Amino acid sequence: DENGHQNKKLKRDADEEDAEDQNKKSPKRKIVLLMAYSGKGYHGMQRNVGSSQFKTIEDDLVSALVQSGCIPENHGEDMKKMSFQRCARTDKGVSAAGQIVSLKVRLIDDILEKINNHLPSHIRILGLKRVTGGFNSKNKCDARTYSYMLPTFAFAHKDHDVQEEVYRLDKETLEKVNKLLACYKGTHNFHNFTSQKGPRDPSAKRYIMEIHCGEPFVRENIEFAVIKVKGQSFMMHQIRKMIGLVIAIVKGYAAESIIELSWGEEKVDVPKAPGLGLVLERVHFEKYNRRFGNDGLHEPLEWTKEEEKIAVFKEQYIYPTIINTEREEKSMVNWLNTLSIHDFNSSVVGMQANNKNSKNSSDVEGSDGCDDDSD
């Protein structure tokens, strides 16, 4: 008995030493992961524990982290234990090419390869960097860049242009689009571009750094263009409404003066473009990089080495999903047909009628937000 007891004790001690050695080899460290994903079929980024019928990107990510041995199983059940924080909370149907999450993991060998082995091909971890112990990807982010890919027939004038896929955007119309988009630059009161914000709510003021529509290109016989917008932070539906209003003006449904009017206290009926096409392109950590990027211990949170991988992922998973879904579901065509029922003369009655109509439509929901206002 004594020998048996002694043998068990020796085995237990040996197991503990092995576990200790393993932990020494792969200590827990605070890192950030660069993620790319196609959001189609997911109810957004953020995990809803206990709500299994609404699958999210984080469900698949956490499962891969546990299976690869980066985190213990109980950390997957309670994400606070690994100090998990996503930079931007993208909603249903929205994709990302440069999402960032921060968390504590065991730095195992071949960590990226092992995590990706347990992820579906439309979700990839493209990069990893060590960060400071107190780093929080949401709080330390000082700007976000989104893109919105749309068929150019969205800009065809309702009275004298063809409204179909054969439409091609001319130089003058593109210049008009960019002139209107430029109105958004700077700090404005965007209470009319989201829900549940009053005109005197200080958090409705947002700072837009850059916004521009690029040159059109043809895919699958449809001409597309990509609008890029960089801002400190965005409220729910803000980007989609910013683009929706410009489309309404260019198509001839609303006067140019409506943009200026929307900054004021009056309630303005701003149409919300479809969620399909919205992509989180990248998140910016300029202040963090200035302070820690060259301190000799940490790398700046820039991803120049990963640019090619990001571009390949977009071509393989994000763009084809947007193009094919647009062809099959015609989300832009269906939405454009609702513009005529909008009341651009600030009628609250018109807004209520339109809200009722949009709830009945098959709009793909997508959040532009990444701060506390974007729920």
Each residue's pLDDT tens digit, 232-267:
999 989 999 999 999 999 999 999 999 999 999 999
Per-residue model confidence (pLDDT) at position 26:
66
Q: Determine, yes or no, domain membership for 196.
A: yes
Rounded Cα gap, residues 163 and 212, in angstroms? 23
Residues 169 and 213 in one domain: yes
Question: Which of 130, 151, 185 corresponds to the end of one domain?
Answer: 130
The residue that leads in pLDDT, 343 or 369, is: 343
CA-based nearest residue to 207, from 228, 188, 224: 188
Q: Residue 187: which CATH number?
A: 3.30.70.660
Q: Determine, yes or no, domain membership for 361.
A: no
Residues 166 and 264 in one domain: yes
Residues 160 and 105 in one domain: no
Residues 173 and 121 in one domain: no
Residue 153 tokens, joined: 């027939």
288 labelled binding-site residue: no
Please determine, for residue 50, whether its predicted confidence score (pLDDT) is greater than 60. yes
| Residue type for position 144 | R
Residues 80 and 165 in one domain: no
| Out of 24-28, 111-115, 336-340, least confident range | 24-28
Please determine, for residue 288, whether its predicted confidence score (pLDDT) is greater than 50. yes
Rounded Cα gap, residues 272 and 275, in angstroms? 9
The CA R_g of the chain, rounded to the nearest whole Å, is 24
Residue 161 tokens, joined: 């242009």
Per-residue model confidence (pLDDT) at position 3:
60
Residues 116 and 170 in one domain: no
Question: Own/partner pairs for 313-320, CB < 8 Å, 24+ apart?
Answer: 313/36, 313/97, 313/124, 313/126, 314/36, 314/97, 314/279, 317/36, 317/37, 317/38, 317/95, 317/121, 317/122, 318/36, 318/38, 318/95, 318/97, 318/279, 319/149, 319/219
Question: Which of 77, 101, 130 corresponds to the end of one domain?
Answer: 130
| Out of 12-26, 133-147, 234-248, least confident range | 12-26
pLDDT, tens digit, 9 for 90 and up, residues 94-109 = 899 999 999 999 999 9
Residue 249 tokens, joined: 């003006």
Residues 219 and 266 in one domain: yes
pLDDT, tens digit, 9 for 90 and up, residues 296-314 = 788 899 999 999 999 999 9
Residues 120 and 156 in one domain: no
Per-residue model confidence (pLDDT) at position 346:
54
Mean pLDDT (whole number) for 135-161: 95
Per-residue model confidence (pLDDT) at position 39:
92
Q: Determine, yes or no, domain membership for 36.
A: yes
Rounded Cα gap, residues 230 and 278, in angstroms? 13
Q: Which residues are catalytic?
A: 91
Per-residue model confidence (pLDDT) at position 368:
44
Q: Determine, yes or no, domain membership for 358.
A: no
Q: Determine, yes or no, domain membership for 111.
A: yes
Half-sphere exposure of 77 (CA within 13 A, CB side): 3
Please determine, for residue 372, whether its predicted confidence score (pLDDT) is greater than 60. no
Q: Which residues contact 274 (CB under 8 A, 6 or more apart)?
A: 240, 331, 332, 335, 363, 364, 366
Instruction: Please check whether residue 245 is in contact with residue 277, taking contact to mean a CB–CB distance below 8 angstroms.
Output: no
Q: Give the total number of structural domains in the chain.
A: 2
Per-residue model confidence (pLDDT) at position 366:
37
Please determine, for residue 202, whether its predicted confidence score (pLDDT) is greater than 90. yes
Question: Which of 130, 164, 190 corresponds to the end of one domain?
Answer: 130
Band of residue 28 on the pLDDT scale cut at 50, 70, 90 = confident
Please determine, for residue 213, whether its predicted confidence score (pLDDT) is greater than 50. yes
Residues 168 and 76 in one domain: no
Residues 151 and 107 in one domain: no
Per-residue model confidence (pLDDT) at position 371:
42
Q: Which domain holds residue 64?
A: 28-130
Q: Residue 38: which CATH number?
A: 3.30.70.580
Mean pLDDT of the chain: 87
Residues 157 and 86 in one domain: no
Residues 217 and 110 in one domain: no
